[in-house]
Amino acid sequence: MKNRSRRRFAAAVIGVSAGGLNALSRILPLLHRHLALSVLVVQHLRPDSDSYLVHHLARLSTIRVKEAEDKEAVEPGTVYIAPPDYHLLVESDRSLSLSAEERVNFSRPSIDVTFETAAEAFQDQLIGIVLTGANNDGSRGLARIKYFGGMTVVQSPESAEYDIMPRSAIDAVDVDRIVPLDGIAGLLNTLAPGEIDGEGSHTAGR
């Protein structure tokens, strides 16, 4: 574990379901504007959801927040939110693609779909994070991230509004870190500090 914090990470994927608006509203505003990571967020949404989530999080945050687009190349210092009713995939060249294929774990977007494709694209340069939720989406994808050597992080069930998804991930994967909600942003800032922002001031561990 000591050497993992010195690794050069390229991206983080965050999976969240029930309770996600509150959780993301407490994480994204604390991320450094020049964070040296691309951050992909999969939040379970109704198919007819509007763009409130993206606009709300963008208003709160200094880091760039936008809806993910098909064929888009990811950049550090940017948070990409999966759009409603589309799976968000990461291609081998690390660009994004959107898919309207069938639901996975009763969800589209599915956390597992994004986690699994990101794991293959970024391998040991990826951080996978499972947050609050009321199903088991994300557990299989987090295991895939672990398989490829990425870092696996789960919100502590005690700090989750809905603890089913974090507990499922912990049961399925020998996770690297279990972190309270208020420690997630500090962990990311520390693992991948931006050139201008410098080192993150908060750490969190298991």
Per-domain boundaries in the chain: 4-191
Region 14-26: mean pLDDT is 97
Region 45-68: mean pLDDT is 89
pLDDT tens per residue, range 36-56: 999 999 998 877 677 789 999
Residue 197 has pLDDT above 60, yes or no: no
Note the pLDDT of residue 195.
Answer: 54
Which residues are part of the catalytic machinery? 17, 44, 137
Predicted TM-score (pTM) of this structure: 0.89
Residue 105 has pLDDT above 80, yes or no: no
Band of pLDDT at residue 6, cut at 50, 70 and 90: low
Query: 88 pairs with which residues across the strands?
Result: 98
Whether residue 96 contacts residue 69, with contact meaning beta carbons closer than 8 Å, is answered with yes
Q: Quick one: fold of 4-191?
A: Rossmann fold (3.40.50)
pLDDT tens per residue, range 112-138: 999 999 999 999 999 999 999 999 999
